[in-house]
Structure 1
């Protein structure tokens, strides 16, 4: 089964998490890259996902989106969110 892995930055910390439908957000697997100005590299994201038990699906690429922190307020800070399709390393279908 495929899932969406997402990475976002808030307060100077990049956080990577895997969206598991039907599972409370508090139980989603996640990795915190700690305080950093740099966007974690694809290799760093791949290692973090592997540590969480996931791998990129074949041919998947990160897709970046920007959004306003305050909806419909173009003067509010812009946030970045990236997503990629992943699947479980162990082939679990859940």
Structure 2
């Protein structure tokens, strides 16, 4: 595998807004646009299988043994009185041959 084909690790995050879950890969250190996927239904949290399929579309896969971790933020930074926003995150890697 050449240096260009070496798998790189990134963070995938998933958040919900207006009842719809959105999954995106944060591509720090690149000039690439962050790949993003919006799940078609409202409210139900996407399954692990659905998340993996969404990540596979732009050429990513979960890191072996990786787990999703939840964190909370406020809708308006520095205002704890606003609605809570849940963010799930896990480590992913680009598949061999996919350069991100």
Aligned partner of 1:87 in structure 2 is 93
- Matched with 1:34 is 40
Q: What is the Cα-based RMSD across aligned positions, in Å?
A: 1.8
Structure 1 residue runs of 4 or more that deviate by more than 4 Å after TM superposition: 91-94
Q: Distance between the aligned counterparts of 2:41 and 2:77, measured in 1?
A: 26
CA-CA distance at 1:93 after TM superposition = 6.1
**Is 1:11 aligned to 2:18, yes or no?**
yes
Structure 1 residue 91: Cα displacement: 5.0
Structure-2 separation of matches of 1:82 and 1:37:
15
Q: TM-score, normalised by structure 1?
A: 0.86
Taking structure 2 as the reference length, the TM-score comes to 0.81
Q: 8 Å contact 2:9–2:92 — kept in the other structure?
A: yes
Unpaired runs of at least 5, structure 2? 1-7
